[in-house]
Each structure stands twice: as structure tokens, then as C-alpha cells.
Amino acid sequence: MDYLCVVPHIPVDDKVEMLQNLVQGGGPSVTAITAAARLGARAAFAGTVGDDERGRQIIAGLSAEGIDVSALKVRSGAESPVAFCWIEKQSGKRSIAWGRGTAAALRPDELDESLIKNSKVLHFDGHQTAAALAAAKIAHKYGIAVSIDAGTIVPGVEKLLELSDIIITSEKFAGSYTGETNTDVAVRKLFAANCRFSAITMGSKGSIGFDGKNLIKSPAFKVDVVDATGAGDVFHGAFIFEYTRGKTWGECMRFAAAVSALKCTKFGGRTGIPDLQTAENFLRKQ
């Protein structure tokens, strides 16, 4: 669960009165599939929550979006993940403090193989590594595309990258992981053994992708930014949705940039995620 507030400025050893506040489900992979679901995809989530109030809110939020939560495990006596987010009103920039909670990670033996088998894309955010690795192997067995949102360097992430068909990382991750400050070089280095497409998201600077031969650059759309929380996660969800519709890599990047931009026009990681018609209308006007 995300606890968000808009403030005149982000305080350091100080107090400030909130201008707005909101409690809403968050998390990288969850926000991504929420975006895909709102655009029209059938989506399911596998992970863990505690049996606390936050856990109940998380499940209710996903169910309200039409997301299948049958593979979501509830851990007795555990606390669910949480994040506290401060958004600066004038710039839309944010600071986030988060905790993973005490709910034990999903185990490989808890995976629903039939759910993976009947999917078009399996998407990770780099957490729940043991289950993610097992799920990736199941996906490959059935020819299911594997996508990863690499935002944090965690133990085992290199193994996940090796098993991923679509690798999209933040600019910070790309620099740290590859040791390259030049994104043109870094995105090529991210193109790993099993990879079909790699990309780096760079916020207001847009994104850059590599298909094994060509560099593809996509600018960010200019909008009045209210809150950038979840923008990268939404980019992933929109990219995957467009991929399942058979679009080119460049089309996927442009569509994802548009959906991500629209998300930023409203307060909250999920509030501004558009439906398909809104996203397509926005693109036609550009």
C-alpha cells in the first residue's frame, strides 16, 4: 500500500502541511499489470501479502481492477508491504520510503503452472527471486515471453535477466549494472543471452531501446506533471499490453510513453492510468 501526500516542499528535519493525501495500492509489477488491465488486458498477480488491513486493501484494490488474485498467497500473522511517498507540488518529483513487510516470499512450489502456461507474458519486478526464476523456467517451457522491470540490483537479478525476453530498466539500474554512463552503450550491454529487446527509461528524457541490431529512441510526451509516482511501472504495463497486440518495438515504446505521461497528470500511482480509448485519443492529438 502506498501512503501518498502532496507537499509544498519535501521537508528535511522540519514539518510541512500536506496539500493532498491518498492511500492506494502500489508496487512495481502490481502497478504494471493494473495499467495493462485498465487498458483491456486480462491479468493475474502472484505474490504474497499479510493478513493485516493493508493486505485486505491490496487484494480489494486488485479485484476492483478485474485482476485475478487466485495466485496471491495470504501469510498468517504477517505485515504487508508498505511505502510512504512525498510528492513536491511544483515539480512533481517525489521521495519514497518503503518496507517489504514480514510476509514470507512466494515459494516455487506455490506457483500455478497453468496460470503461467495460459498467459502471453510473464512480468517480474526483480523481487520474489526464487519464485520468479522458477516461473521464468515454466514460461520458457511453454514459449511464454518473459519481461522484467529491473529497478533494483538484488541477489539473483543477473539470472533473471538471462531468462528474460524483454528487459526494461531504469537509467540508474542500467548505469550501476553495466558500469556505463552512456545509455546508447548501456542498452546494448543489457541485451543478454535470451533477450529479444532491451530498453532504458529515462523519465522526462524518454526511453531508448535495442532490438539486437538497431537503437530505437522514443521521446517523452510533455504534460502538466502532478505526480510521477509509478510512471515507470505504468510504462512497463502499457509496453507489455501493446506487445501482446503485435506492435513493433518502437510502437510499444511510443504507446507506453503516452500512457505513462497521462498517469503523471493525476495524483497517485494508479489514479491517472487511462483506458485504451483515452490513450489512443491522446496519441492521435500528438
Domain assignment of residue 12, yes or no: no
The counts of H helices and E strands in the chain are 10, 12
The whole domain housing 125 covers: 27-79+105-285
**Rounded to whole angstroms, how far apart are CA atoms 111 and 46?**
8
Predicted pLDDT of residue 231: 93
pLDDT confidence of residue 216: 97
What is the helix, strand, coil percentage profile of the chain, to 5? 40, 20, 40
Q: Let me know if residue 218 belongs to a domain.
A: yes
Q: What is the pLDDT of residue 214?
A: 96
Specify whether the CB–CB gap between 81 and 55 falls below 8 A.
no
Nearest residue to 49 (alpha-carbon basis) of 22, 23, 71, 24: 71
pLDDT at 228: 86
CB 271 within 8 A of CB 35: no
Per-residue pLDDT tens digits for 21-61? 999 999 999 999 999 999 999 999 999 999 999 999 999 99
Could you list the pLDDT tens digit for every one of the 286 residues in the chain? 999 999 999 988 999 999 999 999 999 999 999 999 999 999 999 999 999 999 999 999 999 999 999 999 999 999 999 999 998 888 877 888 999 899 999 999 999 999 999 999 999 998 889 999 999 999 999 999 999 998 777 888 889 999 999 999 999 999 999 999 999 999 999 997 779 999 999 999 999 999 999 999 999 999 998 888 899 999 999 999 999 999 999 999 999 999 999 999 998 889 999 999 999 999 999 8
CA distances from 82 to 43, 52, 223, 283 (A): 22, 12, 29, 34
Return the pLDDT at 92. 75
DSSP 101-134: -SPPPPPGGG--HHHHHT-SEEEE-S-SHHHHHH
Q: Is residue 210 part of a domain?
A: yes
CATH code where residue 188 lies: 3.40.1190.20
Q: Could you tell me the pTM of the whole model?
A: 0.93
- How confident is the model at residue 190, as a pLDDT? 94
| 276, part of any domain | yes
Cell triple for 18: 500536506
CB-based contacts of 175: which residues, under 8 Å, 6+ apart? 181, 186
Domains identified in the chain, total number: 1
Cell 487484494 belongs to residue = 59
Residue 107's region, left for phi above 0, alpha for psi from -120 to 50, else beta, is beta
- Residue 223 maps to a domain: yes
Question: Does a structural domain hold residue 140?
Answer: yes
243 falls within a domain: yes
What pLDDT score was predicted for residue 271? 94
Residue 2, in any domain of the structure: no
Using DSSP, state whether 236 is helix, strand or coil: helix
